[in-house]
Chains A and B, each alone.
Chain A
Amino acid sequence: MHRPLFLITAGGVAAGVLIIGTALPIATALPAAAATSGRAEMAAPATGPGASEGTPVTFEVTTTGTLGVTVPTGPVDLGTGAVGTTIGIAGNLGAVTVTDNRALDPATWTATVYSTDFTNSVTAADVIPAGDATYLTGNVVTTPAGGINAVSTNGATAIPLGTTAPGQSVVSESGYDGDNSAQWSPEIQLAVPATAVLGTYDATITHSVS
């Protein structure tokens, strides 16, 4: 019934004994949810620092839980608007759901967002800067309720969607003990600039969770 926690697939006998000797006591400290299976790897022993230095030797976590996010839907139509007006309504982007089933403590993740500029589909030189659009996170609904839940990092403040910065954090889970999920329906508003040229505009908005 007892499977060996580690199998050495490469490396010398002496190194193997050393690894087993050090690995087994460490393995007892693994979380219960993170079952281990028989696989270890010696990555590039010829160029590496050697097994005794530890880092190239790995074990496999066989839990099936992942950090997941909703599959994006088709393009979201923000509508049309005259120059100088602001378009966009609450929840227009649809719900973004992050599900963390990695069975970790602390289960920490951060969701960030950025957008490209809005580009005219006919004359690509005509752009509406992403900075003219704002992102309001809105309520973050968490499951299970209670405990240490994900929160909106910007509160009730709408942030500009510029591309000059790498991205901005919008929702953060800082230490739930175990599986958790959070859902929010952002509101994207675009102030159509006075200089905008008629046409259909497309931008890509990216939610990143890690």
Chain B
Amino acid sequence: MRRLPSARLVVAAVRTAATTALVRRFPGAVMLMIAMLTVAAALTTALAGPAQAVSGPGPARFGIRLVDIPVAEADNPRAYRYIIDHLNPGTTIRRRVQIVNLSASAAHVTVFPDAATIRGGYFIGDVGQTPSDLTTWITMSRPSVSLAPNARAMVTVTIQVPRTASPGNLYGVIWAQETGVGKSSNGINLIEANRVGIRIYLSVGPGGPPPVNFDITSIAATRSARGQLLVRAQVHNTGGQAIDATGTLKLTDGPGGLTAGPYQETGVTLAPGQSEPIKVVLNKQVPNGPWRAQIDMTSGITHRSAEATIDFSPAAGANRRYLIVAVILIVLVLLAGLAVWLIRRNRRSSPTPGHPELMSAQPGH
């Protein structure tokens, strides 16, 4: 039984051979088939053409956007992307999301809340429709929307924080999902599901929101074995809320007064207490330095920056270590040489006390 997959490969090979034989025996029939297929393809293109023009260029897509934003967060760019709020226990909020069908065909989109975690510097929605404390507080005005080509629909997300909720930070996502349909073929198949979502960063507790704070704790320059220049900086979330920090690196005071950048960093998402590195890859042609590196990072309306002197010289630190070792060795060799010379000089110049006695003793014998 277990060998059969390879048997099936043989079947596939046989089928190809049979098709080739068919082509040889009935060339006319094959030509007719090709002609029919060509006409069918042309018709399909002609029918699909106008509809595609309506949907605009690019592949068929579907999308989501956040519609309602708290007035208190109006100056916070993160609030335009995500549902971000601090809520006292017993509070209820409503936010609408809009689902858009950007394709020439009708679409069936499911809309549901899912748990999420912040790990390794990324915000990651959980597998499938994973429940969490937060998802049990969420109700959707409808579980799915059926959309005509290029149609839009609103879905209201209601988050009801129970009076008994413990203080803390909760994360989740409202997903809009489409799943590929069709019959699987014989063999190994992947059914595709694509989803786009609005993240939820919710802080629950009495009083006002916890502070937003983060630090850039170190900046280091490295050069990979392939000669690629990399600047790494460690970002530490020292506040009471999650952050989405993005920013830039600028190099100044370089060789000959050169400046370089600003370069975009890979962003980082951190829960309170988490610390992860951000990276900036630089062009190999950037001189080794030393440079004054300045990193500016922003999460929402909170800005932080840090400065350090960095150097991309290959193994600059190791060179210095070799130098120290070499100096110590030279000093040791010199000291040893000096000691040997002193001993020899001592032996040669100082009168050996035994000799005269020996000499004087000899005549006495």
Contact = CB atoms under 8 A, between A and B. Distances in A.
Contacts of B67: 60-61
A77 B189 contact: yes
B126 interface: yes
Interface stretch (B194-202, B233-241, B346-354, B355-363): B194-202
Interface string A109-150: 010101100100100000010000000000000000000100
Contact of A74 (B68, B180, B198): B180
Contacts of A105: 77
Contacts of B186: 80, 200
B81 A72 contact: no
A4 interface: no
B264 A174 contact: yes
User: Interface on chain B toward A: helix, strand, loop, or mixed SS?
Assistant: strand
A27 B95 CA distance: 18
Given A82-B9, A167-B126, A209-B195, A71 B107 contact: yes
Interface stretch (B96-104, B316-324, B334-342): B96-104
A167 B127 contact: yes
A170 to B, nearest CB: 10
Interface stretch (B137-145, B171-179, B210-218, B250-258): B171-179
Contact of A68 (B70, B96, B102, B124): B102
A99 B61 contact: yes
Interface string B98-130: 101011010100000001110110111111101
Given A167-B125, A192-B5, A198-B4, A78 B91 contact: no
Contact of B80 (A47, A104, A112, A181): A104
B62 interface: yes
B62 A71 contact: yes
Interface in B173-193: 173, 175, 177-193
Contacts of A206: 127-128, 177, 192-195
Contact of B71 (A26, A34, A121): A26
A31 to B, nearest CB: 8
A204 B192 CA distance: 6
B180 A172 contact: no
B134 interface: no
A118 B96 CA distance: 36
Contacts of A204: 179, 190-193
A71 B63 contact: no
Contacts of B275: none
Given A44-B92, A70-B61, A77-B189, A58 B70 contact: yes
A157 interface: no
B6 A167 contact: no
B71 A23 contact: yes
A58 B71 contact: yes
Residue of A70, A105, A203 most packed against chain B (CB within 10 A): A70
Contacts of B173: 208, 210
Nearest to A201: B188
B93 A43 contact: yes
Nearest to B99: A66
Contact of B194 (A23, A47, A96, A174): A96
A1 to B, nearest CB: 22
A95 B194 CA distance: 12
A77 B185 contact: yes
A92 to B, nearest CB: 8
A1 B269 CA distance: 41
B231 interface: no
B2 A197 contact: yes
B307 interface: no
Interface in B40-85: 58-72, 74-75, 77, 80-81, 85
Contacts of A83: 2-3, 5-6
A54 interface: yes
Contacts of A89: none
Interface of B: 1-6, 8-9, 12, 58-72, 74-75, 77, 80-81, 85-88, 90-96, 98, 100, 102-103, 105, 107, 115-117, 119-120, 122-128, 130, 173, 175, 177-199, 244, 246-247, 264-267, 269, 298
Given A66-B64, A108-B246, 12 more contacts: A49-B91, A56-B92, A59-B74, A61-B67, A68-B63, A77-B187, A104-B80, A104-B81, A166-B127, A175-B267, A190-B188, A200-B184
Interface of A: 6, 19, 22-23, 26-27, 29-31, 34, 40-41, 43-44, 47-49, 53-61, 63-83, 87, 93-97, 99, 101-102, 104-106, 108, 110, 112, 114-115, 118, 121, 128, 148, 151, 153, 163, 165-169, 172, 174-175, 181, 188, 190, 192, 194-198, 200-210
